[in-house]
Structure 1
Amino acid sequence: MNPGNRRAIVAALFANSGIAVLKFIGWSFTGAASLLAEAVHSVADTTNQALLLWGNVAAKKAPTADHAFGHGRERYFWAFVVSMVIFSLGGLFALYEGTLKLFSPHGLREPAWAIGILLTGIVFEGLSLRTAVQVARQSKGSESWWAYIRRTKNPELPVVLLEDLGALAGLVLALMGIGLSIWTGNPRFDALGSVAIGVLLVGIASLLAIEMKSLLIGESAGPETESLIRSETLRHPAVRQLIQLRTQHIGPDDILVGAKVEFDSDLSFRDLSAVINEIEASIRKAVPFSALIYIEPAVDPDPPDGDS
């Protein structure tokens, strides 16, 4: 994990932990269902940032006989756990609390507390989101935010971005619910705010779970990286053709590369070994990841006519 990612996570951790305390205090004074849902949401987010930091520590463990390619996927696993925490502790609790208050509504006490705390929360969550956006822009390039979240191999930044965005949206929904309850005198609007927060969090959790599942199963290095690998392989004068190329991320910063390559037939074993080492060094220099490379000399089973 690079320092920028860690900065975004730590900023979100401090923001969410402080906001959680304020929301619980506000709920104790007001009894607002949406404020309680938001307090539990902030506890879930604080837990999630701690899990992301732990995943980074676990991913640094040295390779073992059972995990010969290292533990880089720990970061994907703990990001997947985060999606489950958002779904259960955040989304389902908000849905439960909102539904309960819909059927057993009660009036708000001291609504000014709720409004003040929610507005304070919007400020802190906005600052946290700004930090995450600044860090993500360094690797996003020109692609859209949606494309970045779908395609990045870095699990932490999409989690923090979606959590912070969801937290801001949740605060606005809670503010709307409480505001409508005050304006109309109907406390069910507060309960509806809690339900809306629950739906929002379940949606975010589902999106994160889908993305992390794909990374856990194993995604390729992507077309740009594979294009670099092909060009570095084919530009060596001893290479006749690249027969097959397979890549897979074994962590956010590590890729596994397997290739079948046809070489000049007059190479000696020693020369062939030297050529393979040169190609591997060239690939490692070109790609933006740590690469574990296996190149297999091979002959094309279906050569063009006249080449057999």
Structure 2
Amino acid sequence: MSASGGTRAIIAALLANVGIAITKFIAYLLTSSSSMLAESIHSVADSGNQALLLLGGRRARRDATPQHPFGYGRERYIYAFIVSIVLFSLGGLFALYEAWHKLADPHGIESWQWVPVTVLVVAIVMESFSFRTAIQESNHVRGNASWVEFVRRAKAPELPVVLLEDLGALVGLVFALFGVGMTLITGNGYWDAAGTAMIGLLLVAIAIVLAIETKSLLLGEAGSVADLARIEQAITGGPEVERIIHMKTLHLGPDELLVAAKIAVRPTEAADELSDGIDAVEARIRDAVPIARVIYLEPDIYRPPAER
């Protein structure tokens, strides 16, 4: 994923959510609708999450230090994990609390009845533009993968997070419109509480998915299948290496891959020839997979298992 593509999607979502949050709060103050309050907090949480993603991307660009020799690329994963916590607590749990509170006092919407419907329809339009931007930017890097595969396998967390947040925002707006609309039609505030509860359950589910996927990135994931194949071809694609004895890769960040491999070389090779050969292999790896920033190659003599 290009950093610019992820940044464009984040900024588009941030601008949309700030405007939507202000509008929803005004609608809540005029109508006292619990669905509008839940959606207001949802938009505030989303705005804060996008700010966190921008901050994480900025901090990840810091240079490596003696204390952190592999750099700060994984800070993007940390901030994405914080986003899932914020969405779960501030968005989902608050909405469920508000639904429970509304059930205790299920009053209808008695004034400014046209406001919440108008606000929700406008919000759906604005959120759709943000969602479209996230889809367009994701399509640049998604390739032939399905959307589920893209969310599960993407090494850069920003686009999957924005995609899920925007999708959750759109579905949540539909839930809110359902709750508010049925409350206006029937005069029964239980519909408003039901819409709020649906929003809360949706946000909790999305937060759990984000937490699971980001946790995997935090623990450390290997390179993609395609990158591994290109690296193996680069290592064995010249006369310097007889075979790969074993190899491990690890993402230090979305755009930084560590490659460590034990390679079999000819037993008669001189030290200077060995050094030049390893340099040539490293150059081929970087040409094949540009994100392979840190490469450790250990030369060895291959011995079949029966000879050990």
Q: When the two structures are superposed, what TM-score results if normalisation uses the length of structure 1?
A: 0.97
Measure how far apart 1:161 and its partner are: 0.3
Q: SS at 1:154's partner residue? A: coil
Q: SS at 1:243's partner residue? A: strand
Give matches, 1:156-167, under 5 Å: 156-167=158-169
Provide the C-alpha distance between the structure 1 equivalents of 2:295 and 2:175, rounded to a whole number of angstroms. 50
8 Å CA contact 2:267–2:301 kept in 1: the answer is no
Partner of 1:30: 31
Q: 2:258 aligns with which of 245, 256, 259?
A: 256
Q: Does 1:226 align with 2:228?
A: yes
Partner of 1:115: 117
Q: 1:176 aligns with which of 172, 175, 178?
A: 178
Measure how far apart 1:96 and its partner are: 0.3
C-alpha distance 266-301 of structure 1, shift in aligned 2 (>3 A): closer
Partner of 1:294: 296
Measure how far apart 1:224 and its partner are: 0.9
Give matches, 1:28-67, under 5 Å: 28-67=29-68
Measure how far apart 1:301 and its partner are: 4.4
8 Å CA contact 1:221–1:247 kept in 2: the answer is yes
Deviations 1:257-291 (A, max 9, x none): 00000011221111101110110110001014142
Amino acid at match of 2:148: W
Q: SS at 2:242's partner residue? A: strand
Q: Which runs of 5+ in 1 are unaligned?
A: none
Runs of 4+ in 1 over 6 A off after TM superposition: none
Measure how far apart 1:236 and its partner are: 1.3
Deviations 1:170-195 (A, max 9, x none): 00000000111111221110011011
Question: Greater shift after overlay, 97-106 or 209-218?
Answer: 97-106
| CA RMSD in angstroms, aligned pairs only | 1.2
Provide the C-alpha distance between the structure 2 equivalents of 1:232 and 1:290, rounded to a whole number of angstroms. 12
Deviations 1:66-104 (A, max 9, x none): 211000000000000000000011000000001110122
Q: 2:242 aligns with which of 217, 240, 244?
A: 240
Give matches, 1:87-126, under 5 Å: 87-108=88-109, 109-126=111-128
Q: 1:279 aligns with which of 274, 278, 281?
A: 281
Amino acid at match of 1:296: E
Identity rate of aligned residues, in percent?
49
Q: 1:145 aligns with which of 144, 147, 158?
A: 147
Q: Which runs of 5+ in 2 are unaligned?
A: none
Provide the C-alpha distance between the structure 2 equivalents of 1:12 and 1:295, rounded to a whole number of angstroms. 43
Q: SS at 1:260's partner residue? A: strand
Q: SS at 2:200's partner residue? A: helix
8 Å CA contact 2:240–2:281 kept in 1: the answer is no
Q: When the two structures are superposed, what TM-score results if normalisation uses the length of structure 2?
A: 0.97
Q: SS at 1:239's partner residue? A: coil
Provide the C-alpha distance between the structure 2 equivalents of 1:85 and 1:301, rounded to a whole number of angstroms. 53
Provide the C-alpha distance between the structure 1 equivalents of 2:114 and 2:207, rounded to a whole number of angstroms. 31
Question: Greater shift after overlay, 99-108 or 157-166?
Answer: 99-108
8 Å CA contact 1:111–1:178 kept in 2: the answer is no
Q: SS at 1:246's partner residue? A: strand
8 Å CA contact 2:57–2:76 kept in 1: the answer is yes
